[in-house]
Structure 1
Amino acid sequence: MPRSIFDFADGGAEEEYTLQRNERAFEELELLPQPLRGAAMRDQSVTLFGKRLSMPVVIGPTGLSGLFWPDGECCTARAAAAAGTAFCLSHGSVCTLEKLAGATAAPKWMQVFIYTDKGFTRELVQRAASAGYDALVLTVDNQLLGNRERDKRNGFSIPPRLNASTLAGMASKTGWLWRMRKELRHITFGNYVKAGETARISELAGRMASLLDPSMSWSDVEAVRKLWPGPLILKGLLSPQEAATAVKLGIDGIVVSNHGGRQLDGAPATLEALPPIVDVVAGNAAVLLDGGVRRGADVVKALALGAKACLIGRPQLWGLAVSGEAGVAHVLDLYRREIDRVMGLCGISSIAEIGRDTLFHKASRSAP
């Protein structure tokens, strides 16, 4: 891929401290093998929001997947369906939510934001309900655009500016350019195109930014709760106090997330923020996690701290960029095989057996 597009996905906000902390936090936790427990047969299936998934890994929402492979969102959704897990469509997808809904019958979640135009928030929620989405993911940590300095250095824009630098970068990536030759002129934010209005992505991008609402509050969350009849998941919480409020308002799921380190640089790693939120939720909502989940062992560590499943973003984009649907399928298979191996080596037969005793507690090093 051209450097600017790679960095659009790979980069974080400012110095990228939070992005790095997300990954390093997993390094600080160690697994405790217990081989004599016996785990010849292992089952990593989980049930989330009434749907049984084959593994505790869900494809999280990533905008503009169609920049990485033609029809990228539908390719990813089909791979998730084949793997027996759920897929969450980004509000900023290239395809429309209705097109994605027709691509697969597997569990599908839809991401929405709180917008200054409350009518547009209502419209997206109602469209998701009409299209048969299984859950709604209300993302609350994107009320202002993060300061993503890699994008500024690269001159990244939507659509890409065709100056000498970007043209040279694209021309040097012949495989990507050949695949995308027909797609680039049609890249748009499908869910924001209205009948009779322009579909030009440059204008839509400006409209999207103007719709972000830094004044959003719990009353907006309550309004969405009243609109949406199915499972409602709140994504972007790091505060136990906010998690407790979410439970009181009838939120079904919480994604402990810092937007992959792409919003507030200096926020805590999601793995570090997870245990207090699990404790305060006390089983009254499903707690999920994203950010820094790069291996199957990371998934097991998050589950040991109380998460029900993990969402992945960047890893599935790399699979998509390499080989489309087959690439995403390969990424999910890697996670599946790694989770299975960790479970076997730790003497774990089912996801329900994973708990804090799955982790090696450093204080025990000094014990006799």
Structure 2
Amino acid sequence: MTKTRVIVSGFGVVTPYGIGINKFKKGLFNNSPTFSKFKHKYVESCEVQEAALVNEIETDTTESLAIKMALIAVKEAVDNAKKPLLSDSAGVFVGTGVGCIDAIEELFFNNNSLSDFDYRFGVVGNIANAIAQEYGISGQVSTFSTGCSSGNYAIASAMSSIQLGKIDVAICGGVDPRSVIAINCFNRLGGLDKNGIKPFDKNRNGTTIAEGSAFLVLENLENALARNINPIVELINYGFSCDAYNPTVPEPTGEQASLSIKKALEGIDLSQISSIFAHGTGTKLNDAFEAKCLKDVLGKYSSNVPVTALKSLIGHSGGASSAMTVCSAIVCLTENIIYATISTKDIDDNIDLKVVFKNENLNSGYSLINAFAFGGNNAVLLLKKY
């Protein structure tokens, strides 16, 4: 039985570069960093206060930045996809790590108490519900919260539902807002680098907190062509796995994370992989772990394929991060350029990867997008320019 082909017909983002794909593209290829101080009275005691924040959107105490960022990115994606039919034949798939925690935090900090109505922000499914309500989508509406692999889980699950014939069109992606609790927790864990994120560098010492949203419109190919849509990229495959090992530390052998990569690459000639968009958190353990897994699966090809890490430019946006990386890969595939991993100057001697130090031409082929989250929740996607 032939698999239903699934393509991207539109995508949209809200990033620390600003609102929209054009600002995102400009920032990526200009290799512009986006980091500034997270100004909040409950962050002042943190050793590391640097973050990559969205500054173009304002909210009040009745709103969630997470929902606003999601709706803005979705609108751009839907508009770019020439407004596909969204009804009971469509679905919504949202990945988020902390949901609307921004609204809960501000309500609590300002009022020191929460009403029953305010607790609506505590339901992570409210973001997906808001999108469904905005577009009248009455098909499958799902939320995935697997840490920083949430976005990839949402996109892959949307792809699967289309291939199974459950829906024809999906809005899918990830979103996470700034969180006072998150930056305090990462400081306590020692997971933030006061000198800035440096993925795969021998002097790396942690990540940098961020926020944003990234959403795609997926369709089965037949549906898209019938609407005279020019597909942007095609989703080829995905791989899921779980370390089942530790809440924050990756399982040392990398067996399960490697399995997720193998699943995504099933049936693919490894010589045809043209780019790897790494998870690249900048922490000592995770970068070494990811490099090991890539080496174990790709063998000799791991040191020949260009590798870049989006987080070096726009930080770690949690549940949005992998969907953001997918959107960055789409930009690269359409422009035939791969952006640099900035701040990384001296690759760890134990990491055998071809990390991109400056923008390079990107050859046609398959692009691998990795996400290895807390709890060992691994989700890897494989894309190709249509």
Relative to the length of structure 2, the TM-score reads: 0.28
Instruction: Give the structure with the larger strand fraction.
Output: 2
Larger relative contact order, structure 1 or 2 (CA cutoff 8 Å, min sep 6): 1
Which structure: larger Rg?
1
**TM-score, normalising length from structure 1?**
0.29
Higher helix share: 1
